[in-house]
Structure 1
Amino acid sequence: MRSLLAEDPDELGGHRLLARLGAGGMGVVYLARTPCGTLVALKAVRSEYAADRDFRERFRREARLARGFTGRWLVPVTDADAEAREPWLATAFVPGPSLAETVDGHGPLPPRAVAALGARLAEALSEVHAAGLVHRDVKPGNVLLALDGPRLIDFGIAQTHGATALTEPGALIGTPGYLAPEQIRAGGGAVPASDLFALGCVLAYAATGRRPFGTGDPAAVLYRTVHEAPDATGLDGLPPPLRTAIARCLAKDPAERPAATSLAHTLSAAVPGAADPRTGTATGPGNHRAPGRGADGAGDGPDDWLPSAVLRLVTERSTRALDPPARQTTPTRPSAPAEDRGPSRRRVLAIGGSAAAMLATSAAAMVLLAKGRGRGKGGAQGGAGRNLPTHGIGLQGALTGGRQEAGQAQERGARLAVADHNARENIRFRLALTTYDDRGEAAPAVDGARRLLADRSLRGVIGPTTVAAARAAVPLYGTASMPVLPLSVDYNATGLSAAKVRTLCVTTAPTSYRTLPVLAYLTWVHKVERTAVIEDRAAGAPSADIVRSLRETPPSDGTATVHPVASGANDFRPAVAAALAARPQAVVYAGTSPSRAAACARALATAGFTGPRVTFEPVMRPAFPKTAGAAAEGWVIEAPYSDPQSSAAKAARAFTAAYRDRYHVPPARWAAEAYDAVGLIARSLDSLGGVDITSGQVAERLFKLTYDGVAKPVRFTQDLTHSLSPDNTAFLYEVRGGEFRCLGRYDQVR
């Protein structure tokens, strides 16, 4: 919500204007008050468009169609004048964000909320279809979220089934990514089932935060919609009835999709606790839920259907509507008209009438305010009501496949960071996260990089998750001057060079620095002067690097003896016996295999050695304590990732609480590092002024920053390599009771 400008009128059609809700090339949307005191969203169209006879006819039709709807989940038109010099249309004002703003800023909705969303939107579409109309632009930006349920808006392109569109011949009407295949093949021709396909796309996006046919070049999105299966990443975690309903909506054949009325009934019972769209009461098992937060993270009471952070945002906007900002008194310079790009015959038109700025007050919002529900930590979305630029951050990783645990943790950490940034007061820009699942494989990684780079708002990329994916994708980002921050990838193993890929920003210590925590532990925590190194030659180069480092710089400036185990040998007892003959005070296993490390641990335990035993992160897998048994107890392991829930730092405690509140589990490995990566990019954007920024500028600025993150401090050397300063960037864990317990950042362990 922004102040009225000096040149804005005081009133339109008897409505007193209070503030600006939004503005675009076609007109302005105002917050206004009717003569009887009701708040409305009033859309005024610029006179140059009103001079177009076809446009005025379309506007007249929009007002007529929207006036005829009475459904609870459709925004009613309260008044309109299609004959005025500047036509205007007033609708009920709903003080809620769009679904797009909510998911991009706060992450996917819980299953119960998705089911309620789908049931109510399906009911709205059933009324539209019963009137012989097709909406044709069901998308997240046209869905507003209110306290009592969603509202479907923007009937500017709704038309009678079979009618001729008032647009240029051959144009597609709607939004790529939400158009049904038959609309694309027929050049915009739509049937009621087309709206169901779009609704399936909307629900998949609401549940996962991912667009089922991807993003990027519109032509590529349209091609995937017609010829490829939808991206089902994340849908497998939904309750089967909800997952099946979404899959049916996404069927390529319109005849295989459900009718809107049928879908409304199906979704109302898809998830226990979802509200019946006809009554607003919960259905299915557990429909007598007592007040309090549901297990899926929805709101605080039986009538709440949205996560608490979104409910708080609605409350804040309701408050802001009651106290609009004062009008500006200094006239602004008129903006230059947008450049005419000469649309082609097959141009995709995203024709919007009433955009997501049609937001509105309800009695339920006043009840919420009367209850005194506060904004809460991280609840208010500070920049949401302001006309701020949006900068995109991409996350490319193994969201499925063998490394999905790391990829999914990074996605969660990044989403939390984006939501936290957007919730702050006085921000100069908003962030939006786009993800791509490359499964950790090279070929999909190349496709993912190309798709992400097609987004002109992209300012940085986090990932990939694996060495193979990084080798394939990182050079593409470098060529495009796009900063790329791989987190869980060993920089040394990729063979990539920061001197050649100038935008490669490595925030994780490579293996060449992994001995630093071990040296610190065996010098300051357990001061030892004689160290034995069991070199597992099955590990190859990583083991040789560790041996070379410990030989050159042994703990406490003492001595280090090396005792190799051949790659084909499985018996560690001879090497252990030779090592213990040197009377070491500590033993280091230099290898990467959890099972072979377990064999080493058993041999040491059998020989009676109880001094410090240390190894490295690749061993930190469940197989190590499971295979070694009691022999694994007390082993200390270096790792490049933090465990914020075990930290006493204020930032780590806040991150852990927010992560638990949102995902209902403790932070997973690499989540905090992804949170910090988003913070580092945001810090770079902010230091550049927040607007008119290129990705190359972001890449250049990243390396000049000092950033104290949740996980660790991030600093870079000021030379040609732009290397991460390795001091204080790794952590120590200890095996206790068969679990890996974090001791802390290595420089803080006592």
Structure 2
Amino acid sequence: MRALHAQDPGELGGHRLLARLGAGGMGVVYLARTAGGTLVALKVIRAEYAADRAFRERFRREARLARGFTCRWLVPVTDADAEAREPWLATAFVPGPSLAEAVDGHGPLPAAVVTALGARLAEALAEVHGAGLVHRDVKPGNVLLALDGPRLIDFGIARSPGVTALTEPGAIVGTPGYLAPEQARSGGEAAPASDLFALGCVLAYALTGQRPFGLGDPAAVLYRTVHEEPDVPGLDRMPLPLRTAITGCLAKDPAGRPTAAELAHSLRDVEQTTTGPDPRTAPHQQTAPDPRTAYHQQVAPDREFIPALDPLADWLPSAVLRLVTDRSARALDPPPRQRGPAAPPEPTVVDERRAPSRRRILAIGGSAVAVLAASGTGTVILLTDPQGAAQGGGAQTLPAYDIGFQAALTGHQKEVGLAQERGARLAVAAHNAQKDAGFRLALTSYDDRGEAGRAKDGARKLLSGRSLCAVIGPTTVAAARAAVPLYGKASTAVLLVSADYTATELSSTETRTLCVTTAPSGSRTLPVVAYLTGVYKVERTAVVQDQAAPGMAETVRDLRETPPSEGTATVHPVASGTDDFDPAVAAALATHPEAVVYAGTSPTRAAACARALATAGFTGPRVTFESVMRPAFPEAAGEAAEGWVFEAPYSEPQSSDSKAAKAFTAAYRDRYGAFPARWAAEAYDAVGLIAASLNANGGGAGISPGQVAERLFKLTYDGVAKPIRFSQDLTHGLSIENASFLYQVEDGKFRFLGRYDQVS
């Protein structure tokens, strides 16, 4: 919950606005109070979407239908105006956390609670389906836990086409991991049975804390949903009725799933045999006043309070109850409205502990800088324009936006972070030097040292900046795993430049605003197969699998199932407890391969493989992966390293012939006295992509982080490192066809060969 901005209205449709609950590309959601004193969540739609006649008609129809819902487990639409210049709708305000927050933060729920949860959500879906609608995005993030029971929210009203529920017929929408198999298949349409499949996934998650089709790359999750059985740990030990309900919902065939009404009836029967009759259908005796009544008298004085889940003594764990209490208190005491114009970007923090050198000061943000303050917490820099007028002085007429940068800038993982920071600063300076720029940029850095705890602190600090438009980073998997969900909850775009998204195992509910600009490790075989197929036309491949790197098992499987030239690939394992690669290499060469692939991550163990191949006299193509591409490999392998080829997700701009790459290399060398380090160009492009999104949103003042995030995925951007394209399906994944590169050892050094699809 955040304070109202100075430009926010004070009243809308008879509702007094109190605070901002969130903002995104579609509009702003406010906490508001009706004339009768009831708190509501009021969503205002941006005029540009309302200009779409089909959107406005859909908004009008679906708002009308939703206002007719009577099931108390649905969050009702209380008011709406489809004819306003900026249409809006109001729904009952529920201060409780989502099921995702509760389970991820405090663990799985007891079987009895999950039974009650399933019964009530099934009741809600039965009414939705009875109205001729399909929810299409049933997931933990769309289930709120209130004091008196769960609430199903977000029917897609006031959502743009392709985002989530209630869009045009035939659109494939939803969240991977909760999407039914028939929806995941190309052209699949959502139906009531699809909602039941999603509900089965939700109940399995609530019961175990795990997604039944796993985490990771959305495409991989969708594949498992269609082709593999769900993984629900301990389901066989759960009560039979609940087990039957979940397995029935998760049937691959829609015809094999229960209807929402059937599921609600069966779970209600189970609940009543263990808890007694439902208080709505039997007299409710209560010897003392329910303490929750006082809350309802303040939050919703015009609605009757029904303690609907009283038969369940442990409906909400105490930790979740505390969340409800805290949010209820904040709703009753919203922050005061901001006064005056929006604040300028936060100043750039160069380092938290020491003042920068003169060379480092001159390297920041343009032709001149002014050191404003130095203290024990660091040195603060204010960017200036070439004429020496500080931002806010000569450039007062231009809006200013802050880009957050979070990375490991100290410690043993600092190399990548420092390179990216340099690339990002060059991009900010280049943008601000443009004479026709419609806005100014600033960069605020935070050193998370690659640690999860500091990553969360860094995310909170960056999000506190009122001019923040997007964030670049983090640079380590641990930090990304900790920080990305916080940015997602704040509807703020976070661009993951180097950290491997696949390894983060982030769920799709946490990554709606995550923009991955590098090829994930799950696609690492593509450039290898393309190289061996296109350059050498290899039909027999031997894979030396280093079992000291268990994370390479999927890569090995991909090579075996999709070998170069659609030929054959044999796999020859090397145990993790030995450094002797000779037996595995001998077995591999006995198959008469035309090429050998080392599937491992250790440069020194890869060197042992290279030496064994050289000793055996093999001179054909030898290929491996980026994690091996370190100085330790040629140092340990010696002459045996010559000719080895590596896939890598980053480019080398100094070896490119493009005009943009040459200009970037010259600027980098001029400022830092060296060729660009790996990942610097990719960070430079990330800033360019953010600037392109701001421009696509009009480039004026008042662009929200949510608007930046929404536009990112619709852009095509030709960067210094590579062209950036995103799939226009629900995954928004990076188009990997042109996102990987090849290197080769030559004279003991790694020589850039080029983009893998352009190497001949």
Matches within 5 A, 1:368-407: 385=395, 387-407=397-417
Deviations 1:673-728 (A, max 9, x none): 00000011110000001122110111111111111111011111112211111101
Alpha-carbon separation, structure 2, partners of 1:625 and 1:518: 20
CA contact under 8 A between 1:440 and 1:468: conserved in structure 2? yes
1:588 matched to which residue of 2?
597
Offset of residue 385 of structure 1: 4.2
Alpha-carbon separation, structure 1, partners of 2:559 and 2:391: 61
Q: SS at the partner of 2:548?
A: helix
Matches within 5 A, 1:167-186: none
Deviations 1:206-227 (A, max 9, x none): 9xx5266xxxxxxxxxxxxxxx
CA contact under 8 A between 2:653 and 2:681: conserved in structure 1? yes
Matches within 5 A, 1:565-714: 565-690=574-699, 691-714=701-724
Alpha-carbon separation, structure 2, partners of 1:467 and 1:540: 17
1:523 lines up with 2:533 in the alignment: yes
CA contact under 8 A between 1:461 and 1:485: conserved in structure 2? yes
2:386 matched to which residue of 1?
313
Matches within 5 A, 1:57-136: none
Alpha-carbon separation, structure 2, partners of 1:528 and 1:463: 38
1:549 matched to which residue of 2?
558
Offset of residue 236 of structure 1: 12
Match of 2:491 among 467, 472, 481: 481
CA contact under 8 A between 1:499 and 1:721: conserved in structure 2? no
Q: SS at the partner of 1:401?
A: coil
Alpha-carbon separation, structure 2, partners of 1:468 and 1:233: 28
Give the 3 Å change call, closer, same or farther, for CA 481–626 of structure 1 in structure 2: same
Give the 3 Å change call, closer, same or farther, for CA 519–473 of structure 1 in structure 2: same
1:539 lines up with 2:549 in the alignment: yes
1:510 lines up with 2:520 in the alignment: yes
Alpha-carbon separation, structure 1, partners of 2:720 and 2:520: 20
CA contact under 8 A between 1:498 and 1:722: conserved in structure 2? no
AA matched with 1:675? Y
2:353 matched to which residue of 1?
231
Give the 3 Å change call, closer, same or farther, for CA 565–720 of structure 1 in structure 2: same
Offset of residue 570 of structure 1: 1.1
2:726 matched to which residue of 1?
716
AA matched with 2:438? R
Alpha-carbon separation, structure 2, partners of 1:721 and 1:211: 35
Give the 3 Å change call, closer, same or farther, for CA 235–467 of structure 1 in structure 2: farther
Alpha-carbon separation, structure 1, partners of 2:358 and 2:604: 32
Give the 3 Å change call, closer, same or farther, for CA 680–688 of structure 1 in structure 2: same
Match of 1:435 among 445, 453, 462: 445
Offset of residue 497 of structure 1: 2.9
Q: SS at the partner of 1:314?
A: coil
Alpha-carbon separation, structure 2, partners of 1:357 and 1:444: 31
Alpha-carbon separation, structure 2, partners of 1:564 and 1:575: 6
AA matched with 1:563? H
2:455 matched to which residue of 1?
445
Give the 3 Å change call, closer, same or farther, for CA 653–535 of structure 1 in structure 2: same
Q: SS at the partner of 1:434?
A: strand
1:454 matched to which residue of 2?
464
Q: SS at the partner of 2:506?
A: coil
- Identity across matched positions, percent: 68
Give the 3 Å change call, closer, same or farther, for CA 233–638 of structure 1 in structure 2: farther
Alpha-carbon separation, structure 2, partners of 1:687 and 1:702: 9
2:572 matched to which residue of 1?
563
Offset of residue 585 of structure 1: 0.5
AA matched with 1:733? Y
Offset of residue 525 of structure 1: 1.2
AA matched with 2:517? T
Alpha-carbon separation, structure 1, partners of 2:477 and 2:631: 22
Give the 3 Å change call, closer, same or farther, for CA 394–233 of structure 1 in structure 2: farther
Matches within 5 A, 1:125-524: 210=349, 231-232=353-354, 250=375, 313-314=386-387, 385=395, 387-524=397-534
CA contact under 8 A between 2:350 and 2:356: conserved in structure 1? no
Give the 3 Å change call, closer, same or farther, for CA 466–573 of structure 1 in structure 2: same
Offset of residue 456 of structure 1: 0.9
TM-score (norm 2): 0.50
Number of equivalences:
400
CA contact under 8 A between 1:498 and 1:504: conserved in structure 2? no
Match of 2:738 among 728, 740, 745: 728
AA matched with 1:455? G
AA matched with 2:349? R
Alpha-carbon separation, structure 1, partners of 2:350 and 2:682: 25
Alpha-carbon separation, structure 1, partners of 2:585 and 2:625: 18
Alpha-carbon separation, structure 2, partners of 1:234 and 1:473: 27
AA matched with 1:478? G
Alpha-carbon separation, structure 1, partners of 2:355 and 2:626: 29
Offset of residue 251 of structure 1: 6.4
AA matched with 1:592? T
CA contact under 8 A between 1:714 and 1:724: conserved in structure 2? yes
Q: SS at the partner of 2:479?
A: helix
Offset of residue 466 of structure 1: 0.3
Offset of residue 232 of structure 1: 2.3
CA contact under 8 A between 1:395 and 1:463: conserved in structure 2? yes
Offset of residue 314 of structure 1: 2.8
Matches within 5 A, 1:20-31: none
Structure 2: any 5+ residue segments left out of the alignment? 1-345, 362-370, 378-382
Structure 1: any 5+ residue segments left out of the alignment? 1-204, 213-229, 240-245, 253-308, 318-354, 359-383
Q: SS at the partner of 1:667?
A: coil
Alpha-carbon separation, structure 2, partners of 1:666 and 1:249: 31
AA matched with 1:550? L
Alpha-carbon separation, structure 2, partners of 1:723 and 1:603: 39
Alpha-carbon separation, structure 1, partners of 2:510 and 2:429: 34
Offset of residue 512 of structure 1: 1.0
Alpha-carbon separation, structure 1, partners of 2:667 and 2:440: 20
Give the 3 Å change call, closer, same or farther, for CA 233–250 of structure 1 in structure 2: closer
CA contact under 8 A between 1:620 and 1:637: conserved in structure 2? yes
Q: SS at the partner of 1:727?
A: helix
Alpha-carbon separation, structure 2, partners of 1:499 and 1:641: 28
Give the 3 Å change call, closer, same or farther, for CA 251–624 of structure 1 in structure 2: closer
Q: SS at the partner of 2:403?
A: strand
2:135 matched to which residue of 1?
none
Alpha-carbon separation, structure 1, partners of 2:484 and 2:355: 23
Q: SS at the partner of 2:739?
A: coil
TM-score (norm 1): 0.51
Offset of residue 237 of structure 1: 8.9
Give the 3 Å change call, closer, same or farther, for CA 435–616 of structure 1 in structure 2: same
